[in-house]
Structure 1
Amino acid sequence: MWRHRFFFTALLCGTGLTLSPNLLSQTMTQHALGVPTLSMMADTCPVGLQAQRNGMPVIIATNGQPQEPAQQLRLSWLNRRQTEIVAAAVVVHGFDATPHLIPAGGSSSSELSKVYAIKVDISGGGNAMTELTLRHFAAISAIDLRSIEYANGNRWSAPAGTRCRIAPSPLLLIDAIGQ
């Protein structure tokens, strides 16, 4: 009977029996963790930009209007040039809260796009962070940089064929309640 148990255990564990018991238990309990990478703006763009969803989507109540979904988005800016930036325009792409069927690998005609003018103060070579509340958006798929306005009056606009686009980080920051 003892030989049958040994044979069955050896069959289940394979070559694991040649390992020490501590090493075997450590090997079998290790977990792999996949960490999504952040989307960064191309080096050809005048700024580095990252987008992070901030908290859970919320419903905004407006005076006399139906309630609507809204996303909170934190934009982290890096000025790659030495001239101070005072404003930027971004185009946010996403979807509203209605159910959608989206073909695999394709886009949907029900995608929302909205331009946001953002006042910023980013010194040459400096960093800044801005927060946006995106009304009507239940999900955000991409952010395009449309233009940059510099303190010296110059303006950069995305040339045709150049894509200064990022996707928001797939990680979602949540607030702890009751701490």
Structure 2
Amino acid sequence: MADAVLVENLQKQLDRLMNQLADIEEEKPTMDPEEYEEMKADTMEELKDLSRTLEKMTVGSITVLDNLTATRIAVRAAISQAFRTPEIVALFARKQPAALRQKLIVMDSELRMHKLSEKDYHARKLEILTALANLKEELSTEEKAFLQSKQSENLLRFDLEATSGNTLCRTDLQ
């Protein structure tokens, strides 16, 4: 029971930090560049603190270790900025492939309506498909081809466990 409460509290803290990062990015155009950098750096420092806490906790109980793995990966992804979109990090951490797929559908629509630039679309699509691959979700032939084309452009370098040397990103997309 205590483990479940602990994991829930850590997930809430991660959600809060991801929302904070999203808010900072959303308000970037209205902020002074110095203020933006300071707020983002503060939030990233909080994420690093959360990561250090998770590292200490994973030394203990195996049950806690199993329950905290997704949260730890998401925190490291945010810290390493492998994922640029906090919302995608949060969906990845919560293991919500259906929500990630829904986000792809919304983005397709936004691209067609010119609400999203092609550059931003491709960057976010890469993040989502990488997250889905890491969640071991089945990717379509087109999705695999997209990832492989981006990989050949040297954009698919997601080392979510950089500090421990464990690579969790699947590149076996064949």
Please confirm whether the aligned pair reaches a TM-score higher than 0.5, indicating the same fold: no
Q: TM-score, normalised by structure 2?
A: 0.20
Greater relative contact order, per chain length (Cα 8 Å cut-off, separation 6+): 1
Q: Judging by fraction of residues, say which structure has more strand.
A: 1
Larger radius of gyration: 1
Q: TM-score, normalised by structure 1?
A: 0.20
Q: Judging by fraction of residues, say which structure has more helix.
A: 2
